Chain A
Amino acid sequence: EAQVTQNPRYLITVTGKKLTVTCSQNMNHEYMSWYRQDPGLGLRQIYYSMNVEVTDKGDVPEGYKVSRKEKRNFPLILESPSPNQTSLYFCASSPLLDRYLSNEQFFGPGTRLTVL
Chain B
Amino acid sequence: AQSVAQPEDQVKVAEGNPLTVKCTYSVSGNPYLFWYVQYPNRGLQFLLKYITGDNLVKGSYGFEAEFNKSQTSFHLKKPSALVSDSALYFCAFDQTGANNLFFGTGTRLTVIP
Contacts and interface: CB of A to CB of B under 8 A. Distances in A.
Interface in B3-47: 32, 34, 36, 41-46
Given A43-B90, A102-B94, A107 B45 contact: yes
Interface stretch (A12-20, A71-79, A92-100): A92-100
B100 interface: yes
Interface residues on B, range: 20 to 34
Interface residues of A, number: 31
Interface string B96-113: 111111111110000000
Given A90-B43, A104-B46, A107-B45, A42 B99 contact: no
A106 B45 CA distance: 7
Nearest to B31: A102
A44 B46 CA distance: 17
A90 B101 CA distance: 13
Contacts of B99: 31, 33, 48, 94, 96, 102-103, 105
A100 B98 CA distance: 6
A11 to B, nearest CB: 16
Task: Give the secondary structure class of A's interface.
Answer: strand
B97 A101 contact: yes
A42 B100 contact: no
Contacts of A31: 99
A13 B102 CA distance: 29
Contacts of B44: 43, 90, 92, 105, 107
B83 interface: no
A97 B35 CA distance: 20
Interface string B43-67: 1111001010000000000000000
